[in-house]
Amino acid sequence: QDAIDRKEKRSETFKTAVHGLEMDTPVLKTEELGRRAPQWVRDNLVTMCMRCKETFNAITRRRHHCRACGYVVCARCSDYKAELQYDGNRLNRVCQECYLFLTGQVVLEDREGKHKGILEKGAAEISGKSLLCSSLQLLDKSGKGGMRGWFVIPQDDPLVLYIYAAPQDVRAHTSIPLLGYQVRDLSQGDSRHLFQLAQSRQVHTFVADTEELKQRWMKTMARCAAGITPPEEEGEDADS
């Protein structure tokens, strides 16, 4: 029972971290597509099309919402119209996957690859089964700036750190193999919650939002870098 309670708590913590308690975005079941209005995925949670994985920009690849599933998609992936029962069977803009399903040409799940490479898996998908996941900042070489993103160490690939630009992205931007790295605490003389991965000439410096979160990342990274795979029940989702 304790293990079940811990898993339920981790699941709830992850939902809170990604969406906030009042911004959870439930995914419609396949049989509900077109029958129920979806809750749209918020624009600021994705940086790339949730179908083709191309990065959005303000000029040539703008954000649109599929009226059937609520995904944020590009114009090319949503250049389809289908009748939606919840909208009085009027034609609405939908993504290609929903169009094919709603018009009876193919079942949506049949199009989902069961053997996707982990870089092709969505952040939400692997974060729900992770040793640790949260927002962090990865500093550039100057140490003054750098990218802020969603960082995940999956349970099924615990020797690799996957980096997403946003917690709802459907493809990781890059990854860092952890095996052999040293984990260093850099907080002395700096008010930020700094820590570092270092191996030979490869150095990656991170900033966590809190000291507690930093310590959790350092502990998890150190174990993974040493090849010590934590049991599944020890996996955690961070609160931020």
- Predicted local distance difference test score (pLDDT) of residue 14: 38
Q: Is residue 138 part of a domain?
A: yes
Q: Is residue 147 part of a domain?
A: yes
Whether residue 37 is predicted with pLDDT greater than 50 in this model: the reply is yes
Which of 146, 108, 137, 140 lies closest to 27 in space, CA to CA? 108
Q: Is residue 214 part of a domain?
A: yes
Which phi and psi (to 5°) does residue 182 adopt? -100, 140
Q: Which of 76, 111, 146 is the last residue of a domain?
A: 111
Banded pLDDT at 98 (limits 50, 70, 90): confident
Residues shown for the chain: 240
Residues 188/172, Cβ–Cβ less than 8 Å: no
Which of 69, 66, 72 lies closest to 93 in space, CA to CA? 66
Give 204: exposed, middle or buried? Use CB within 10 Å, 0-12, 13-18, 19+.
middle
Q: What average pLDDT does the segment 168-179 reach?
A: 85
Domain that holds residue 210: 118-234
Q: Tell me, what DSSP letter sits at residue 127?
A: H
Specify whether 99 is located in the same domain as 145.
no
Q: Is residue 210 part of a domain?
A: yes
d(CA 125, CA 118): 10
Across 26-30, 38-42, 44-48, 204-208, least confident range: 26-30
Residues 112/152, Cβ–Cβ less than 8 Å: no
d(CA 48, CA 170): 8
User: Who has greater pLDDT, 80 or 234?
Assistant: 80
Residues 239/167, Cβ–Cβ less than 8 Å: no
Specify whether 223 is located in the same domain as 124.
yes
Q: Tell me, what DSSP letter sits at residue 22?
A: T
CATH number at 53 reads 3.30.40.10
DSSP states of 28-81: PPGGGBTTBPPPPPPGGG-SB-TTT-PBP-SSSS--EE-TTT--EE-TGGG-EE
For residue 36, what are its two tokens?
Answer: 């129920």
Whether residue 144 is predicted with pLDDT greater than 70 in this model: the reply is yes
Give 88: exposed, middle or buried? Use CB within 10 Å, 0-12, 13-18, 19+.
exposed
Which of 125, 136, 149, 145 lies closest to 217 in space, CA to CA? 136
Q: Which of 111, 128, 155 is the last residue of a domain?
A: 111
> How many separate domains does the chain show?
2
For residue 200, what are its two tokens?
Answer: 């030979």
Specify whether 150 is located in the same domain as 202.
yes
Q: What average pLDDT does the segment 218-229 reach?
A: 91
Specify whether 96 is located in the same domain as 178.
no
Banded pLDDT at 104 (limits 50, 70, 90): low
